[in-house]
Each structure stands twice: as C-alpha cells, then as structure tokens.
Structure 1
Amino acid sequence: MFSEFDEARLDDPDVLAAHDEQLRYLAMAGARIRSEALDVRVPVDLTMTPRGVIVAGAEARLIRAVLEPVCPVPLIAWPLQGLPGWVGPLDLVVVLASEPGAYAGAELVATVAEATRRGSQVMLAAPDNTPVAEMASARAIRVLTRTADPTAAAVAVLARLHEAGLGPVVTTESAAEAADMVAEASSPHRDFSSNPAKDLACGLADADPLLWGGSVLAARASRRLAEAIRAASGRHALSAGVGEIMEVLSHAKPRDTFADPFTDGEERRSVLVILDDEQADEASARAGDALRDAAVAAGVRVCELSAGQGSEIDRYITLLMQGLYGAVYLEIGLEG
C-alpha cells in the first residue's frame, strides 16, 4: 500500500520548517558552485595536449557526457581502482574527490598514486590536506574544493578543462545562476500555483515514476532523480530509454474508476516524467512525442520538467535541481 500523500503539508510553515535543512541545502547549490569556482581564475598549464583523458571519481560520467561531443582526444570515465594498463605520461588523469568518503577512500588514492607513478598529468579536485591530495605530485593541476558537493566540483573541473582546450565553454557563474533560478521558483514559500517542484511532487504522489531524459545530459539527470525519488519514497523509480519505457507503457492497465480500494486492493500506477532538454536534436524530440502519445493512450499521467536555455551544463543543473526539489516535497507530503 502507498503512504497517503497530503499536499496540504507542502504549504504548512511548521512542516516546512522541520525540513529546513534539506531545503536550504538545495537553495545553496548556486553558492556552492561559486565557492568551488574560486580557483578557476588560475590559468591551467598543461605541458602538452594529452593523448587521452581518463576521468575517475564522483560525477565522472557527467564530465564524460559534457566533453565527449567536442573533446579532441579520446576519453573514458573509469569506475575502477587504479588505471587502465595503457595510461602513461602522454595522458591526463582527472580525479574528482570532493566528498569526504571519496578523498579518503583507497580507490581514488590508488588512482592518483598510479597516475603519478606513471608520469601522467593529473588534475585533482579535492580539499587540501587529505590523503588523496597528499598523493598528488607538485605538478598536478589542483582544483581546491570546499563544499563536498560533487556537482559543484564537476562544474569547476569542466571550466578548467575548457581552458585546457578539451571541452566546451562552461561559465561557472551562469551555472550558479541556473541553480539560483530553480531555487527561487521552487522555494517553500511559493504555493502550488507558481511552484513547479510542488506540482511535480503531487504528480508523483500515488504512482511509480518512469523517467526519460531527452538528451545525454537529461538522461543522466533522470538517473539522479530516480535515485532521489527512491530514497525519498521507498518506491520503484525507473530511469530508462525509450524502448524500455514503451514496453512498460504497453502493459499499463486502464484504471478502473469503479474499483473499491478497500476490497479490490490498491493498484500501483505509473507516471511518465519527461526531462525535456529543449535544445536536444530532432530524433530526441520525436522520441519524446512518441512517449507522450503512448502514455496518453495507456491512461498514464505525464509530468514534464523543462531545461530552459543556456549551456549544456546550465540545462543539466536546471533539470536536476527541479527534480531534487520535487523529490524533497514528495517526501514531505508522504510523511503525514
């Protein structure tokens, strides 16, 4: 049985005050991006254009998703301890270790140690005076992190990689402003009529979400949102491609409006959540339209998040933050 969702809790000052820490953390996302970007003004000095780029640590796949379309050299997101056997002095190893568990973890310490031993150029995002920082050589490019926010650290690293000629333009202030705009629109002080995050929570109130992103970065945001929804509600949340979601929708049964929930039991319903990257290609736009049509035909509710304008990372942050706010409001509504 689902927990009963009480939408009145989302506008109750006392209830919202009890969740001030969660909501304040989301509201400070822009400030954390600005904090992590303080060292971006220091020029990046690569000894040469690397043969390849290997990215390890938190948000490594986000870095890969942003760089892959434009990076002039091969790159991989490496999920294991150490490095691939072919990595050597001609390569750049990027390690993101901004979270407390990450910068003390044996895996990333071993990765930095191995990169240093092989003579690779290292870019390290981590706080000072930590085990992983101590393992880096003096010639490593340091991105000093302060907030333990992996997304904020990733934005700072992307800005440095752009300076090195390896990625697209990433303006840290623009990314921070994108987070600020979502925080303003999703503020607990805004009611349902003008709060997209509270509206999303209501859309998720009685259903298991199927999440789809309309671009590579929107798909990554959808996976992050699925994790947040599972943590907030304990429900199933599937982030998948068009084919998998179409398969689920094809088996959706129409709701019986005459069913008695006390005698017939409560049937789990689905809700389709589309993370719409408005600047995605035509094929993605067609896929989104097909999903909407299939959901309508199956009697499945559709909720949409819009990425708006800006760079790829701005749009990613906009989608992610809207979803994270929605997940917190879902948790608040289910606690009654």
Structure 2
Amino acid sequence: MAPHIDDALLDDPDELLRKDSRQTLRALATAGAQVRESVSLAEEAGIDRLARLDRPRSVLVAALGGSALVAEVLELLAEPGSPVPVQARRNLPLPGWVGPLDLVVAVSLSGRAPGPVGIAAEAARRGASLLTVGADDSPLAEVCRRARGTHIGVGRGRTSSRTSLWSLLTPVLLGAHTLGLVDTPREQMRQVADRLDEAAEAYRPASESFVNPAKLLALQLAETVPMVLGDGPLSGVAAARASSMLARTARMPAPWGELPDAASQIVACFDGPYTARGGHRPGTYDAGRIRLGDIDTSGWEPHHFAEPEGDLAERPRGAGGRDIFADPFLDGPSLPQLGLLTLRDAAPEPPTRESVEVEALTDAVLATAREAGVRVMDVSAQPGRPLTRLAELVTTVDFTATYLALGLGLDPAVSPHVADLNDRTR
C-alpha cells in the first residue's frame, strides 16, 4: 500500500516549522542569499588571483555526498566550450596524471570530509594548483593555505551540504569563469539568485498546496513508487539531484535516468509489478482476468466465488487499470502505483533538430507510461541561461523532497539509521 501523507499538515505552516527540527525549509529558501553572499566571500578571498595562473592542463573536482552536485554542474557547464577537460572525483586515490600543470578543486562544507581533504593534500604534495571551498577553520582550509592556494569560506549558519548547495557551487563557478572554463560571470550569478528567490516565494510554507507546485508534487509522489527521468544533460543533473534528495531527505528510493540512453531502462519498468498492466501482483489480474484454477481454493466456501464465465472471471477496473473490487484479505494488499517524474529542460528558440528529437522521444515515453497505468508528473524549466534553468529544477525537487518528508511524518534533516551507521563506523 502507498504510504499515508498528511496533506493537512502541509497546509499548516506552524506545524511544518515545528516538525522541521533543523529548519530545512528555511535553509532552502536562503539559496538566493547564499549566491549573493558567496560572490562577496569569493571576492574577499581573492578569487581573481586565479586569472594570474596559467590555464591548467585539466581540472579535477573532489566532492562527495551532498556536495557532489558541484562537480556534476561544473562538468555539465564546462563540457560545451571548456578548452580543458573537467573531471569529478569522490575519493582517493588521486589519479596518477595529476601534477603541477593541473588544478584540483576540493569542496566540503565542514572542510573535514576525508575524500576531498585527502585529495587536496595529495594534490598539494604533487605541486598542483588548489581551489578549495569549505569552513574557514578546517583541515581543508589549512591544506590549501599551506599550498598557497585559494580557499573560499562558506559563511555562517550552514549546517548541511544538502541545503547549502549554492554556498559551495557559486565560488567554484566563479573560479572556473575566471579561468575561462565556463561562462558564469558575477552578473549571471545574480540572475540565478533572483530566480532562486522567486522559487522560494512560490514554494514557501504559507502557500497552500493547491497553488504551491512543490507541495502538490509531494502529494503526487507519495502515492507512487517513483522514478525520475531527465530529458537531456541539464535535466539529467537535476534528475540525479532529485533521486538523491528523495532518498536522503524523504527516505524514498527513486532510480533516475537521462534521455536518450535511459529510455529503454525506464520503459522496461512499465512491465513490472508496480503497474496494473505489467507483471503479476497482488490486487491486479493479467488482462483483467483471473483463472480460478491458478488459486489454491482449499477451505473456501461457495459464497467466496463470483459466477465466472467458464473458468474466467472478469474484474472491473478503475483508472490506471486497477481492480476496483479487489479484496485486500483475499487478494492481498495492493502495491503502490509506479510514478514517473519527468524533468524537462526549456526548449531552445528557435527549435533545433536535436531538441525536436528529444521532445518527440520524451512524449513517446510519457505516452507509453500513461498507457501502462503509470502516474506521470511533469516539471519543465522556464527559458533562461543554462545555470538559471538548472537552478529552477534543482530548487523545485529540493523543496518537493522536503515537503514529502514532512508530510510522511519524517524529519527531513535527521535519520536515526544514518545516526546509527555513523556511531558504528566511528
């Protein structure tokens, strides 16, 4: 059965804030402010000094956990025009080719994550240039200072990398822009901040669910076993973020994919046990029929049987092919419905051949999903520069996952099992 979500709680801002022990919603709402503060902190830290360096042979970004999206975004934005390769790394060992001609970017909110700190230390030992982002009073900052690199702090009040994304990402993008790897000048970062502010206003706790897209999406996702699909590279990064946030914040596993490669992988799931027309699952019947000979009827009384036509009994179905007369005691509890959350990038103007093909493939996947009884949810970015479009999709899924957690009675910031795991691995 699908989990119960308390829709009344989602429309009670006082109760939302009370259950949100570490003010996750409020932290997400500061995304625009994080961008502006990080621009100032980067300037104060001397980010422009990077312009005096020779262009690096390559850039390696070390980030993990909630910070991993920083590397994915830089890879995404650098790929079309960067004159040097950009690669992501989560942990040691540092690749053997990294040396004095390369730049290593290490990101950790606390400045204590073993992977980024270890990579930064090894890169410094080999003479590579360093750009680090994290707490000022931390091992990561110390490694960077000893190597005469550039360290940028994250400001005060940042307690979770999941809610401090823009404090971590902004300095990295400014540094990459200074080196000529991406086109993200300060003026564009301020436009991103404005878009994030608009989203925070639309998704605020006081906004009722019927006009709040994040709350509405949370209510829809709660009734499904969700999958997330991006329609291209940019929305694919957002889909990976959605999968991570749904798992870590809402405790709901959600596999993700990116078109065109993931089309078959996603569509194959429509044949599985979570769709009424696919698989053999409790509470549903193949093609609307059940063969009485396939069921153990020992101990049943005659009144348990409907009057079949021969050995087949037709069962009425509701929306999505569900059996509206399924008995949870005889048929077993019904499984939740498969859900497909599609994140779509804004179409370019004028359309290109590639964008037309992507749109046609996406529409074909959604049509197949609806025919199979999958619940389809569609989120599209508004036109704008790539980083602005990505920011809109990311903040939507961040707020959605948080509202979903709260509606399910979960604290979005505190997981007892994660705490147990940390205790057992210390």
Among 174, 177, 194, the alignment partner of 1:159 is: 174
Long gaps (5+) in structure 1 = none
Equivalent runs, 1:219-258 vs 2, <5 Å: 219-240=236-257, 241-251=262-272, 252-253=275-276, 254-258=321-325
Shift of 1:151: 3.8
Deviation at 1:162, TM superposition (A): 0.9
Query: 2:83 is matched by which residue type in structure 1?
Result: P
In structure 2, distance between residues paired with 1:263 and 1:235: 28
Cα 1:262–1:158 change in 2 (3 A) is farther
| Aligned with residue 341 of structure 2, among 273, 276, 280 | 273
Match of 2:119 among 108, 111, 115: 111
Q: Superposed, which structure 2 residues align to 1:1-336 within 5 Å?
A: 1-19=1-19, 21-41=23-43, 42=46, 43=48, 44-57=50-63, 58=67, 59-97=70-108, 99-100=109-110, 103-136=111-144, 137=146, 139-146=148-155, 147=158, 149-170=164-185, 171-240=188-257, 241-251=262-272, 252-253=275-276, 254-261=321-328, 263-264=330-331, 265-279=333-347, 281-282=354-355, 283-335=357-409
The answer to whether the Cα contact below 8 Å between 1:30 and 1:176 also exists between their aligned partners in 2 is yes
**Are the counterparts in 2 of residues 82 and 108 from structure 1 also a CA contact under 8 Å?**
no
**Per-residue deviation, 1:184:** 0.8
SS at match of 1:192: coil
- 2: CA distance, partners of 1:46 / 1:284: 41
Q: State whether residues 143 and 157 of structure 1, in contact with CA within 8 Å, keep that contact through their aligned partners in structure 2.
A: no
Give, in whole Å, the separation in 1 of the partners of 2:184 and 2:242.
25
Question: Distance in 1 between the 2:165 and 2:252 partners?
Answer: 25
Q: Which has the larger radius of gyration?
A: 2
User: Structure 2: which amino acid aligns with 1:163?
Assistant: T
Q: Which moved more, 1:157-166 or 1:4-13?
A: 4-13
Aligned residue pairs: how many? 333
Runs (4+) of structure 1 moved beyond 4 Å? none
Q: Which runs of 5+ in 2 are unaligned?
A: 277-320, 349-353, 411-426
Distance in 2 between residues matched to 1:262 and 1:33, nearest whole Å = 54
CA change 1:235–1:106 in 2 (3 A) is closer
Give the TM-score normalised by the residue count of structure 2.
Answer: 0.73
Contact 1:5/1:333 (CA < 8 Å) preserved in 2? yes
Answer with 183-192 or 162-171: which moved more.
Answer: 162-171
Q: Report the Cα distance in structure 2 between the residues aligned to 1:113 and 1:232, rounded to whole angstroms.
A: 31
Q: 3-state SS of the aligned residue for 1:210?
A: strand
Q: Deviations over 1:209-242 (max 9, x none)?
A: 1100122231122122122223444333121222
With normalisation by structure 1, the TM-score equals: 0.91
Contact 1:309 1:315 in 2 (8 A): yes
Letter in 1 for 2:337: R
For the residue of structure 2 that corresponds to 1:275, the secondary structure is: strand
C-alpha separation in 1, matches of 2:220 and 2:374: 11
Structure 2 Cα separation of the partners of residues 32 and 160 of structure 1: 16
After superposition, the C-alpha distances for 1:281-323 in whole angstroms (9 at most, x for unaligned) are: 5143223112211111112221112221222222112111111
**Superposed displacement of residue 144, structure 1:** 2.6
- Between the two proteins, what is the percent identity of the paired residues? 33
